[in-house]
Chains A and B, each alone.
Chain A
Amino acid sequence: MLWTMADNTTMPAEFDDVVIEEMGPVMPSTLPRDASLELPEWKPDDLREFDENDAPLNLGGGLWPAQLWPLMPVPHRLPQTESRLALGNLPIMVTGDAKEPIPPVLQEIYFGKVPPEGVVDPQSLLNEVQQEDLCRFFDEYALRQAGVKVRLLVLGPNQEVPPTAKLQALTERWFAHEQGIVVVYPFGQPKAAACVFSPALQLAYTLEQLNAVREASVKEAMFATREEDQLSRYGIKLAVRMNRLHEEPKPTPSAPVPLAPEPLVPWLQSVVVVGIAGMLVLGLWFVRSRWIRRPRAPAGVETWLLPDQEMTTRLSAPHCGGTMAILKFR
């Protein structure tokens, strides 16, 4: 009886007579005899990999590497970004692991006419419910609320975008005068997804804002381990961020910036300064002249009156009784 273990290794011959009931995948043996097994050693390729790629090792959500835990799904190795090709002024990423060409039939579906639905998955990498959910999400949050059309092309994990399908040109062809996003998403490789924004969208938002949307979508996808979940999170985040971007006040980078007034030539500045100073002086002079010529009270207003007295005469004098002071000045 030949048993095939989960990691495609065969049982040793000495255990041929051992009857093992079929009970599904089994855990690796932890018998004491295994202690005599030689410990693995670092290979030069591993060491080089560590030196060149310091990215953390994805353990698949567990404490042990996936090779030692066959029950866990084998985590895919994150593809290394080999190149970033700028399309227009936006970077897109093309995976370097894509090896399989897309069949021509699918190429026509992917890169032909404008797809009617938001999710283009002719290979049925997503089930129908997942596709429908994403399509509804794109229609509601991206298209209806934000006015952005999203077309998510779901490729196989190792499929390569044909060189003839230029994504930037494709985006401009699909969304010539409207805001749209074309995402080429290799299934299970969110970091390799290419996200291309239409010219109208680039005019509506700044490059930093659009890059932030793309990076946020990739980061959101990386929280999940299953390919389907990654794709769902990617699409949802993309639609939500575009929706929020639409709600924010737009900086309108394409709007003409009001030009600062040209500085006056020095002699004109002097003329202006002298003119203002002259007007101030004239104003002060006018106020002063008005103050001087202000209507004053009649001359008799500021008068001083002495109370009338009942006078009697003396020394037979009618007007003056002789009250007098004498000063000898010489």
Chain B
Amino acid sequence: MNCPRCVREIPYTALTCGECGFSLFDQDAQFGGDAVSLERVTNKAGQLNEEEVASLEQALDAFEREFPQLFVAVYSVALPVMASVRQFGFWLLNRAGINGVEITRPNENGALLVIDETSGQAGLVVGYLLECYFPEPELAEILEAARKDWSAGRMAAGVREVIAEFSKALKKKSKLALKHPARFRPPTTTVPAKPEFHRLHDMNQGSAEEPNVAQVAPAEDGPTEPDPAANSRMTMRLKFKRRGK
């Protein structure tokens, strides 16, 4: 998890970036604190004609039929030169109210594709639900599917490619999540107080001492992000010990 501004790693539950102090309020100061109303396909930069917008709407409809929890919105804009696509996307998904999206699909269940005509960049930002399934490298792979079309100026085709890739990846994640739900759980707020090898030593010695778990707090030497995989392994071992007792 990286800060949208300084791109440093931040803890999962950090209220602000430990490095630069970034939070949503900083973006509110830049772009506005009020909610903004968007269409599912917003063509502010004029990169899409009406037919392309209509075809994208159809593609988004199909996506929403397949994924009743989720939605995808497309925002084509020409940002000011100094504006960052990363920060703008972060702010927009948090402050936007998207027309035509049911109330059962909150923004944390959505994905927003921002295409900046000015900088020639595109960003795919996902809500809290989807970030459990899509780490940033996988999102980058999905965006890569549109590079060829976008480089050639075929913006709508690139968007369709992104939607298709995103849909395909979501189906795989959905299957995996049904089989292994623990694999996609968000990082818990509990981290072991001791290093792992100490805990294993105590368990082998038959110690009745409960594992000392504490609230995750920002480390003194900087923000750290807990390893989800290690966390799941630890949870399993804790269960094992409780049964043994």
Contact = CB atoms under 8 A, between A and B. Distances in A.
A134 B1 CA distance: 124
A135 B134 CA distance: 113
A309 B144 contact: no
A307 to B, nearest CB: 5
A295 interface: no
B191 to A, nearest CB: 14
B69 to A, nearest CB: 6
B60 to A, nearest CB: 14
A324 B123 contact: yes
Chain A residues touching B, majority SS: loop
B224 to A, nearest CB: 14
Contacts of A305: 67-69, 174
A324 B86 contact: yes
B184 A309 contact: yes
A293 interface: no
Interface string A298-325: 0110111111111111111111111111
Interface stretch (B50-58, B88-96, B195-203, B205-213): B88-96
Contacts of B122: 326-327, 329
Contact of A325 (B4, B107, B124): B124
Contact of B123 (A308, A309, A311, A326): A326
B112 to A, nearest CB: 8
B160 interface: no
A319 B140 contact: no
Given A317-B90, A325-B139, A303 B67 contact: yes
Given A300-B65, A316-B23, A327 B121 contact: yes
Contact of B23 (A299, A315, A325, A326): A315
A312 B185 contact: no
A330 B126 contact: no
B173 interface: yes
Contacts of A308: 129
A328 interface: yes
B159 to A, nearest CB: 12
Contact of A303 (B66, B144, B173): B66
A323 B120 contact: no
Contacts of A324: 4, 86, 89-90, 123-126, 136, 139
Interface string B87-127: 00110011000000000001110101000000111111111
A316 B25 contact: yes
Contact of A322 (B70, B121, B125, B174): B125
A320 B90 contact: yes
B147 A329 contact: yes
A319 B170 CA distance: 19
A238 B153 CA distance: 109
A329 B121 CA distance: 6
Contact of B65 (A303, A315, A320, A323): A303
B17 to A, nearest CB: 7
Given A322-B90, A324-B86, A316 B16 contact: yes
A322 B124 CA distance: 10
Contact of A329 (B1, B10, B142, B151): B151
B107 A320 contact: yes
A310 B126 CA distance: 16
B3 interface: yes
Contact of B132 (A303, A304, A309, A318): A309
A320 B127 contact: yes
Contacts of B185: 309
B32 to A, nearest CB: 15
Contacts of B137: 325
B142 A325 contact: yes
Contact of A311 (B129, B139, B178): B129
Given A305-B174, A329-B146, A316 B139 contact: no
A314 B186 contact: no
Given A312-B186, A325-B123, 17 more contacts: A300-B65, A304-B171, A306-B177, A307-B181, A312-B12, A314-B1, A314-B12, A317-B24, A318-B107, A320-B90, A320-B126, A324-B123, A325-B136, A326-B122, A326-B143, A327-B146, A329-B122
Interface of B: 1-4, 10-17, 22-25, 65-70, 85-86, 89-90, 93-94, 106-108, 110, 112, 119-137, 139-140, 142-144, 146-147, 150-151, 158, 170-171, 173-174, 177-178, 181, 184-186, 189
13 contacts: A300-B65, A303-B68, A307-B181, A309-B129, A314-B11, A315-B14, A315-B16, A319-B107, A319-B108, A322-B125, A325-B123, A326-B85, A328-B120
